[in-house]
Amino acid sequence: MRRNIRALGTLAFAVLALSLAACNAVKGAGKDLQEAGEAGERAIDGK
């Protein structure tokens, strides 16, 4: 029983860590897309 609880805690920690990493990756990708869009607008506007 104690072994199962420990395994469940480890699994929960791993899921949390992966969720945070994925969140940061998506946030970074969103920033990259936003910056690319702004660069495109500047190119179109001739700035």
Summarize pLDDT for 1-47 with one digit per residue, the tens.
Answer: 778 888 898 999 999 888 888 888 888 888 998 999 999 888 888 86
Total domains in the fold of the chain = 1
Beta carbons within 8 Å of 16's beta carbon, 6+ residues apart? none
Domain range spanning residue 1? 1-47
Q: What is the pLDDT of residue 3?
A: 81
Q: What is the pLDDT of residue 23?
A: 84
Q: What is the pLDDT of residue 11?
A: 92
> Can you say how many angstroms the Cα of residue 30 is from the centroid of all Cα atoms in its chain?
9
Question: From the DSSP assignment, how many helices (H) and strands (E) are in the chain?
Answer: 1, 0
> Can you say how many angstroms the Cα of residue 24 is from the centroid of all Cα atoms in its chain?
3
Q: What is the pLDDT of residue 16?
A: 87
pTM: 0.56
Give whole-number Cα distances, 15 to 11, 22, 30, 38, 47, in Å.
6, 10, 22, 35, 45
